[in-house]
Amino acid sequence: MHQDTPSSSSGTPLGIPYIIANEAAERFSFYGMKAALVVFMTQYLHLMGDTITDSMSEAKASEYMHLFVAAVYLTPIVGAIISDRYWGKYKTIITLSIVYCLGHAALAFIGVSGVASIWLLAGLGLISVGAGGIKPCVSAHVGDQFGKNNKHMLPSIFNWFYFSINLGAAISNMMIPWLLVWHGPHWAFGIPGILMALATFLFWLGRKKFIHVPPAGKSFTKEVFTAKGIKILLKLTGVFAFVAIFWSLFDQTASTWVLQAQDMDLYLLGYQLLPSQIQSANPFFILILIPLFTFVIYPLIGKIIPLTPLRKIGAGLFLTVIAFSVSAFIQEAIDAGQKPHVIWQILAYLLLTSAEIMVSIVCLEFAYTHSPKSMKSIVMALFLLSVAAGNFFTSLVNGHIQVENPLENEVADAQKELSSASTTTSKHHPTWKMKSYPGLDQKLNTADDISIHFTNKSIITKRDTPSETSLLNAAEIIQKHALTNNRKFSLTEEGQQLINHIIDPWGQQLTYRVINSTSCRITSSGPDKTPLTKWDNSLNIKLKEKKDHSLTAQTPKQQTWLEQRKAILQITDQDQHTHYDNQNFEHTHTVGGLYKLEGANYFWFFTALMLITSLIFIPYSILYKNNTDKSC
């Protein structure tokens, strides 16, 4: 039998060390896996299955990443109901932790056999059920361990609890991206899985030390669905709706900010950072800023103006506007062909982490103090639902801005066919195969046909389009100008002027855009003569890295896991690109697949959204305060 009421002891409850150790290991596993996810989807996933496919676009990876995070924060509502109504917290946590472990195992086994994307979907689905289901239960389980004689220790214990979360996140955000680069996805996802298994084991060890508060049963349902309970939930939902927009921006630190960092100078304090590692700035800043806000900033501001919870949240929303403005200015520089230093993104992290303290932590405290004891878990789940809503919105935006690839399904089928043929035919199998597809008129052997060249390893080497000649003529001009300009591409306006005289087969001007310091894009609007549709024909030009001739055979460069994987699959640069006939550039042809909102415009869109949200929150918070009490 387990004890179901706290003891009369005035000391630390015996189960607390097990919970804190469990939380540190669990947060290490979740944030480590999340830190590597976007980079894995864009650079590794297409090389992991039985069939080699096209790599996932950045917008598609961001869409899937935020959809996953939304699922993680959607399932807490189910976890809270199961815990408070049926199973109790311990049984809910231990059962769903096993599901959590199975999810990590699925990710670690991506590429062992079968379709890689199916393993990814299964892994993320199981993790969303496991991680989300235990979220509203763990912190409430901490509170259950304390009685009236030691409840004074609760703030200190929660500080250690929060410290363990951020310590685990900080370490994993530095470690797991490094593991992905040098040891590959099996270890990068396997290590978090091992830590999650350890977390589950530690929690099981403490089973006889914990206070097991029984589920409320039917009384839980009656409490929540009374007129008073529904009124409380509706009032808190209004506040959470504003906070949801905050999360739609904040959680882009794991997606668009990582992708942005790939175009920045990441050399800091004698160490070359990886783009995903910069996420560790958030938990490190959390550990520093929480005591700074608690003991310095809040008391100083409080001497000038009373700092109510809603005022803190409002200030945090405006601070988020400033943080995302920094990321937008960074992208402006990248769009201009510059390579800004990582210190600017670290500044954005400092501002955004400060906003997180004022929005997330304060909102959680506000919700907890404005709900009855029997509704704590459900209110916690409702707060987490705001995170799901924010991420779901970001996922929708990233899905909406993608321009369709008209041949995506047909090409995938051809790649499966070629991959299957390459395993059953002799070594004399042709090294490439060409397939032709109808264009806008949906008829073969007409002027708008698209031809795609594959290797026998199912890799696309080239796309032939009717606009190819005009695109290559424009590329010749852009490349010559870059070579005379110290290998720097023209800015968008300047490059456009250079190619204004070149017309595509449909009588339309080509468009030019610099992407970053090493790449640019020339686009024809295609046979429909309409830009940003699935019939756009584009030529992406990328500067090839200068070879360091000082390196000799005696000092070979250490290969990354990705380089080793390509060597095993016998994938060469020639397989993946159509090269310009010199040592400076590589070309990639694409059809469709562009973005309706890209570059700095993407970041300014979210900045403007956050500014509008912040302005609307001001009158809302005043009305909310007038209808409740002055402590709001």
DSSP secondary structure letters along 432-489: EEEEEE--TT--SSSTT-EEEEEETTS-EEEEE-TTHHHHHHHHHHHHHHHHTTTS-P
Considering the domain 223-402+597-632 in this protein, what is its CATH number?
Answer: 1.20.1250.20
Considering the domain 1-215 in this protein, what is its CATH number?
Answer: 1.20.1250.20
Please give the pLDDT value at position 522.
Answer: 98
Length of the chain: 632
Report the C-alpha gap between 322 and 31 in whole angstroms. 25
Strand ranges (E), 326-465: 432-437, 450-455, 460-464
Report the C-alpha gap between 584 and 582 in whole angstroms. 6
Structure tokens at 590: 């694409």
3-state secondary structure 120-159: HHHHHHHHHHHHHHHHHHHHHHHHHCCCCCCHHHHHHHHH
Please give the pLDDT value at position 167.
Answer: 87
Report the C-alpha gap between 15 and 5 in whole angstroms. 13
Please give the pLDDT value at position 625.
Answer: 66
Q: Are 70 and 385 in contact (CB under 8 A)?
A: no
Please give the pLDDT value at position 573.
Answer: 58
* H or E segment and range at residue 67: helix 58-74
Q: Do domains 1-215 and 223-402+597-632 have the same CATH topology?
A: yes
The residue assigned the tokens 């086994």 is: 109
What is the SS3 assignment for 271? strand
Separation in Å, CA 12 to CA 145, 209, 315: 9, 12, 36
Report the C-alpha gap between 414 and 47 in whole angstroms. 16
The residue assigned the tokens 């562009």 is: 594
Q: What are phi and psi of 566, to 5 degrees?
A: -65, -35
Amino acid at site 289: L
Give the chain's radius of gyration (CA, Å): 27
Please give the pLDDT value at position 253.
Answer: 97
Q: Is the dihedral of CA 130, 136, 142, 147 positive or negative?
A: negative
Q: Are 288 and 305 in contact (CB under 8 A)?
A: no
Nearest to 514 by CA among 342, 332, 345: 332
pTM: 0.91
Amino acid at site 179: L
Counting as low any pLDDT under 70, the low residues of the chain are: 1, 155, 219-225, 368, 373-374, 376-377, 421-432, 547-557, 572-582, 625-632
Please give the pLDDT value at position 554.
Answer: 52
Q: Is the dihedral of CA 178, 179, 180, 183 positive or negative?
A: positive
Tell me the angle at which helices 362-369 and 227-250 cross, rounded to the nearest 10 degrees.
180
Q: Are 571 and 457 in contact (CB under 8 A)?
A: yes
Give the residue extent of every domain in the chain. Answer: 1-215, 223-402+597-632, 408-546+561-591
Q: CB atoms < 10 A from the CB of 187, how many?
A: 16
Could you write out the DSSP letters of every residue in 555-608?
Answer: SPPPPPHHHHHHHHTT--HHHH-EE-SSSSEEEEEEES--BSS-THHHHHHHHH
Q: Are 119 and 109 in contact (CB under 8 A)?
A: yes
Nearest to 250 by CA among 358, 138, 133: 358
| Nearby residues of 515 by Cβ (< 8 Å), 6 or more positions away | 335, 521, 540, 599
Residue 291, class by beta-carbon neighbours within 10 Å (0-12 exposed, 13-18 middle, 19+ buried)? exposed
Please give the pLDDT value at position 627.
Answer: 62
Please give the pLDDT value at position 427.
Answer: 47
